[in-house]
Chain A
């Protein structure tokens, strides 16, 4: 046996929870230059972790994610103007305490990175960015805000970011904070005391397609380990398990959430990636807008679709797709067995003419063409919660 994608070992970066993951016996991998847990045999492995998040709760160390804070310089409005220039979504529509999905784009309308923008204050924003693109993103943000009256700070090393995900995440976190979590809507956040740590950022965000929270605590090692341990202790009655990047990937794929370097990259534009609903052309100027206008007029040459294998075989990243007549038409960006659906699913770029639901195509798996078909996405969508007595009272 030899893995076809064994990581190359270089100087890997570590989060403050690295030693704890190793004590837990996690299998570690190189993810974008970071030494991260891919799965925990003590949790039962990837599939058990995935199921825990869909049915109960799981906890992830996502401290490798980066954080950029943008605040006003001398004049009011500088930070908002900078964020509007830097990102494709309309940050002026965010209330203080609200967050949204957005992206930083090159002038070509392709992706520097995708980001979550949090409006901390009227003129105070926090951009959460990907691990593998940290340096590039920060350099790009600095270069593109030179003409704006704002202050850009790289806070990436200041936080340990812990994600609690799953229908019971709210119960676990509620036992560790006095902040009222029921009142926080999806993609909103608050500051509160968590595990005795004052003023902790608590956001109802995640990357799993499930309800959940992400908290940002000081990256000091002892503090980080204490918070993690308290989360595990509080979650025990709900069956919480530590989850690695393996489950994070299958969860986000089922929910059709993009992964940088796969669905989105410097070679893919917003329309191709199907992320137009987060791109607000009407808000005015932003980096990449002109190119996107031209691309829209020119029309799509490829588009991201969800596919499901019809024949036996697992489509994997970078496998090639063919039409029924054998013509090469595109490539898989992410592919995996879906633990929730029990099917082999994938995302792929194909020409628009091949994108209609039900279209039959094939994926080349070790030089054999295996039949697949285009299916609706997201592959998995969580059921709408039944009326909650707390939210009913608030309404």
Chain B
């Protein structure tokens, strides 16, 4: 699955798509693949504050629980309620329909720390090498 050029990526495998002062956040295709069958998504409610680098929710597969870390700080304006009934969308469309939350950014400068798509692809390619070594 392609990594959209417009998105920015974290080392914990979240993506962020910025439109004005609103950032949409999700997990990457690499992340959903590592997790396996996603069966449960727990997200903050609108109004909640999230902090860059801190956990804001969890995604669970059959076998494991994974925390989701905020790529940037801000206030949640919307959570993807669809995922409560169709968590498997995280596997099938992680970069699109399975976005997790929309956030009003507190400090857009934080995003400068994140990777662009080619850098992220190189990052996960290295991880792949580590795993098969």
Contacts and interface: CB of A to CB of B under 8 A. Distances in A.
B65 A4 contact: yes
Interface of A: 1-5, 22, 27-28, 38-39, 41, 45-47, 246, 249-250, 312-314, 316, 336-337, 339, 366
B67 A22 contact: no
A4 B131 CA distance: 18
A246 B61 CA distance: 11
B37 A1 contact: no
Given A1-B27, A1-B68, A249 B63 contact: yes
Main secondary structure of the interface of A (DSSP, over half): mixed
B63 A46 contact: yes
Contacts, number: 65
A339 B40 CA distance: 13
Interface size class of B (residues with CB under 8 A): 20 to 34
A48 to B, nearest CB: 8
Contact of B58 (A246, A249, A366): A366
A1 B68 CA distance: 5
A332 to B, nearest CB: 13
A2 B61 CA distance: 13
Contacts of A312: 40, 84
A1 B59 contact: yes
Nearest to B40: A314
Contacts of B31: 1
Contact of A337 (B34, B58, B62): B62
Given A1-B69, A4-B67, A246-B36, A47 B59 contact: no
B63 A336 contact: yes
A366 B44 CA distance: 13
A3 B64 contact: yes
A246 B35 CA distance: 12
25 contacts: A1-B27, A1-B66, A2-B67, A2-B69, A3-B34, A3-B64, A3-B66, A4-B64, A5-B65, A27-B34, A28-B131, A38-B63, A39-B63, A41-B33, A45-B37, A46-B63, A47-B62, A246-B63, A249-B63, A250-B62, A314-B40, A314-B65, A316-B65, A337-B39, A337-B40
Q: Which of B35, B58, B62 has the most CB of A within 10 A?
A: B62
Contacts of A313: 40
